[in-house]
Amino acid sequence: MLAAYRAKFTWSGILLTGITVFVIYLTLVPIGMAVYGSLQDGPPGTGSSFTLHNYVRAFNHPILYKSIVNSLIFALGAGTLAFTIGCLLAWVTERTNAPLKGVIYTAVFIQVMTPGILESISWVLLLSPQIGLINVYAKSLFNLSEAPFNVYSMTGMIWAFGVSSYTVPFLLMAAAFRSMDPSLEEAAFVAGSGNLQTVRRITLRLMLPSMLAAWLMLFIRGIETFEVPAILGLPAGVILLATEVYLMTREVPTDFNLAATFSMVYLVVALAGLYIYFRATRYAERFAVITGKAFRPRLMNLGPWRFPVGGACLALLTLVAFLPLMVIVYTSFLPFYAPPSTKMFNLMSLDNYRQLTQHGGVYKAFQNNLLVGTASASLAVFFTAVIAWIVHRTPVRGRKLLDVLTFSPIAFPGVVFGLALMWLYLTIPVPVYGTLWILLIAYVSKYMPVSMRACSAAVMQVNKELEEASNASGASWWATFRRILVPLILPGMFVGWAYILSLTFKVLSLPVLLAHAGTEVVPVLIFDLYEGGQYTVLNALGVGVIIVVTAISLTARAISRRYGLEQFE
């Protein structure tokens, strides 16, 4: 029996198994700790015992149900807004001959990289009834007695969050549109369909996996995001589930058990979403548009509408991306924030940037962040590409479970995730605590869900006949994976990569627990400046992050395009 097994060991098999086991290890630890924590009456290491009381504490709360309803409205509203903007822009850039594509791409990358806290505050400075610039100008322009917009409302929150998250659907959909075989659309044209009908009945239906993936991520982000609910929701008196969780668990020390219990709620939401996704995409071969036939993504000729469409996109981007960006850039030159005036323009200087360069930790933080950010993004994307291949291409039992496991970490708030990892690596003899390695482990496991959906949707687009051909010609699994599949799904992989890189520069919840003296990353710096009372310097840092990371992402994109599908054009 053993001999039979030994004979069947191949390098591909070992690689596949190794990655699978490692991914299971990465994800199972935090999940296990969270489930366990939600059923205990004390944090790890205190000799706690089993209890269900946490669930009673979490749900026996009069406002909880109202906050859940609010959260649903918020997530659906912002998701719809973000999805519409993202799809529209992606379609225009990838499938039409409208101008200004470079501008749109750059704007999207800039927005991906903008720290969320700065963007939320920008919307206060633009749309607050008291001091919002748009309100002030609208009032004087149209002689209004009252401010036309109020950012401190559910609508305001949906707006602020929606326009900051259209980047996810944009990137996912752009990748999907890029890999689209136009012959199906051409068939529709030949059969007499118009432009719109073709888009609706052919293009959008073929895009279903990517669309659902985008929706799923938007929705979960909408449920658990905290910046907009805290900055706009608290003053507005609109309480979301995320705010409620924060209000109930903010005491020091963190109520690990209650936080873990709430993460079970997020987990249920995430798994329900994943179930819908599985159901809708269960006939994967329907979406396989990349086949053995040669194709070249065909651009729709907009004719005389070329420039109006390009102009409309620019106007939309001005509203959703450039306005908040301008506020951030403007503030970064000021000694303190005040609405633009001659006096303020005279006060503008480079002082904040100077102060930033004198802050000892800046270079180190950027260096650490670039290192650990690119490494974890690359690893996460590689792992999830392999997992996506296993899920969609092999008949092994338990492959769906693998997908579920890889996607689950999306549900766990950073504090639960971070404390679980801390505890594990403090108690097992693996010396990563206090080094950059623990951040790498944390980032890979926490952000794999993001690239999992991107890679999974991309793999579904590729017809397996291409790999079969390679296999039949004697190529090993690794050769097929590297030379056939990866180039074909590269746009999807790149989306995951860029997005994860941006998250490592933005999200504080993990590094705040895991970064030590000497392993600080940029979010720790952001937190430091935010807490330390230097808001204008923080804006300067934001501008620095945007410039550096956007440049890296655009370079990486240029490289990936050379290696990817484009070469067949």
Of 79 and 233, the one with the shorter C-beta distance to another protein is 233
Binding to another protein in span 9-48, by CB under 8 A: 9-10, 12-14, 16-17, 20-21, 24-25, 28-29, 32, 43-46
Query: Closest distance between another protein and the C-beta of residue 248, in Å?
Result: 8
The answer to the question of residue 531 lying near another protein (CB under 8 A) is: yes
Question: Which distant-in-sequence residues (6+ apart) come within 8 Å of 122 by Cβ?
Answer: 323, 324, 325, 327, 328
Under DSSP, is residue 289 helix (H, G, I), strand (E, B) or coil?
Answer: coil
Judged on CB neighbours under 10 Å (0-12, 13-18, 19+), 122 is buried
Choose the stretch contacting another protein; rule: CB under 8 A; options: 215-223, 308-316, 370-378, 395-403: 395-403
Of 109-148, binders to another protein (CB under 8 A) are 121, 124-125, 128, 130-131
- The answer to whether the beta carbons of residues 556 and 498 sit under 8 Å apart is yes
Q: How far is the CB of 344 from another protein (least distance, A)?
A: 10
Nearest to 229 by CA among 443, 78, 34, 450: 78
Of 209, 233, 491, 492, the one binding another protein (CB under 8 A) is 233
Q: Which of residues 254-293 bind another protein (CB under 8 A)?
A: 254
DSSP-based three-state secondary structure for 245: helix
Say whether residue 353 binds another protein (CB under 8 A): no
User: Per CB under 8 A, which region of 171-179, 196-204, 246-254, 451-459 contacts another protein?
Assistant: 246-254
Out of 3, 8, 141, 196, the only residue in the binding site for another protein (CB under 8 A) is 8
Q: Minimal distance in Å, beta carbon 112 to another protein?
A: 23
DSSP output for 299-310: PB--GGGHHHHH
The Cα–Cα gap between 526 and 522 comes to 6
Q: Which is nearer to another protein, 210 or 463 (CB)?
A: 463
> For another protein, which is the closer residue by CB, 35 or 138?
35
CB 282 to another protein: min, Å: 15
Read out DSSP for 19-69?
A: HHHHHHHHHHHHHHHHHHHHTBSS-TTS---B-SHHHHHHH--TTHHHHHH
Asked whether 123 and 131 are in contact (CB, 8 A), the reply is no
- Three-state SS string over 119-168 comes to HHHHHHHHHCCCCCHHHHHHHHHHCCCCCCCCCCCHHHHHHHHHHHHCHH
- Minimum gap (Å) between residue 454 Cβ and another protein: 23
Instruction: State which of positions 166-225 bind another protein (CB under 8 A).
Output: none
- Residue of 100, 134, 180, 415 that binds another protein (CB under 8 A): 415
Contacting another protein within 511-530 (CB under 8 A): 512-513, 516-518, 520, 524, 527-530
**Of 169, 268, 165, nearest in space to 221 by CA:** 165
Number of residues that bind another protein (CB under 8 A): 90
Interface positions, 315-334, toward another protein (CB under 8 A)? none
- Shortest separation between residue 252's beta carbon and another protein, angstroms: 4
The strand pairing partners of 290, in sequence order, are 462
Binding test (CB under 8 A) with another protein, winner from 105, 219, 447, 477: 477
Q: Please, which of residues 428-447 interact with another protein by CB under 8 A? A: 428, 433-434
Q: How far apart are CB 446 and another protein at their closest, in Å? A: 17
Task: Identify which of 410, 417, 362 has the alpha carbon closest to the alpha carbon of residue 545.
Answer: 362
